[in-house]
Amino acid sequence: MSSLFLRRRFLPLILATLVCVRTPPCAGQTALDAKAVSARADAWLKAYQAAGDFSGVVLLAQGDRVLFQGAYGSADPQVGSPNRLETRFRVASVSKTFTAAAIEKLAKDGKLRYDDPLSRYVNGIPNGDSITIEQLLLHESGVGVLDSEEIYRDCLSRQEVVRRLASAKPLFHPGKESRYSNEGYFLLAAVIERVTGGSYGEFLRNNFFAPLQMEKSGTACRNLPEGRNALGGVATASEAHLRPLPYNEAALDGPGSVFSSAQDLYQWLRGRHPSKL
């Protein structure tokens, strides 16, 4: 899983890891042996944990069968508190899957169109009349890059981030190239708020988290609600453990503000299957 900004100095926050094998199982698919899967996964993950290369929660599933769950390493590198199955993680760019699903729902409900121009919902962005919702989803918008320290350190308002993007030089003409864009997904969150009249977090909670019983999921710029939370760490070449981050980095709605647990992410993958919607 990638961090909120690929250009960051720091490694991604400790993340929940989830593998879901073909939901639902295809006809004729051989059922996996849960004991064998558990033994192999646990041995593999413990080796990585011992080397200081992994800390998190793993859930392996085949369709509706959970084959293995395990927690490894420290949730908080500073005090050494252990990860648990219910630990919540900032899932960084996995947040984009929720943003894209929100846009998909609004399109299905007739609230917006994929070929709508960005300028219909957000003013002041260069090439806003030419950038479409679809191009934002596909990282083809060419919107400028925000790379100031404040973006990582402070919880800036949506209006302030839009103001900064309005002054950022476009990378290319919309639709002519493709470049991974956190800024584009921030603008999609702004579109969601404009269309719904509510907050991005409220839309995700009302349409995804609550219906799918994702009780350990939500959005946060910096500090997660009180509870069992994982904190970020920095890997070092000389030590087999993580060092705490110098500060808890800020995350923008759209590209990176969602937090969740491994079990909740499993619910999310199951819920995104068309038969479950």
Same domain, 189 and 227: no
Domain boundary among 170, 202, 234: 202
pLDDT in tens, 12-45: 333 444 444 444 554 457 899 999 999 999 999 9
Residue ending a domain, among 202, 228, 250, is 202
Q: Which tokens go with 153?
A: 């350190």
For residues 25 and 80, state if they share a domain: yes
- DSSP annotation of 68: E
In terms of domains, do 230 and 243 share one?
yes
Same domain? 224 vs 182: no
Q: Are residues 178 and 227 in the same domain?
A: no
Domain range holding 182?
95-202
Q: Considering the domain boundaries, does residue 9 fall inside one?
A: no
| In the block, residue with structure tokens 């491994």 | 262
Question: Is residue 22 in a domain?
Answer: yes
| 1 found inside a domain | no
The band of 76, judged by pLDDT with boundaries at 50, 70 and 90, is: confident
Q: Which run of H or of E encompasses 133?
A: helix 133-137
Task: Write out pLDDT tens, residues 215-268.
Answer: 999 999 999 999 999 987 777 666 666 677 777 889 999 999 999 999 999 999
Domain total in the chain: 2
- How far apart CA 93 and CA 255 sit, in angstroms, is 6
Q: Does pTM top 0.85 for this prediction?
A: yes
Asked if the structure places residue 182 within a domain, the reply is yes
- In 3-state terms the chain splits into helix, strand, coil percentages (rounded to 5) of 35, 15, 50
Last residue of a domain, one of 177, 202, 227: 202
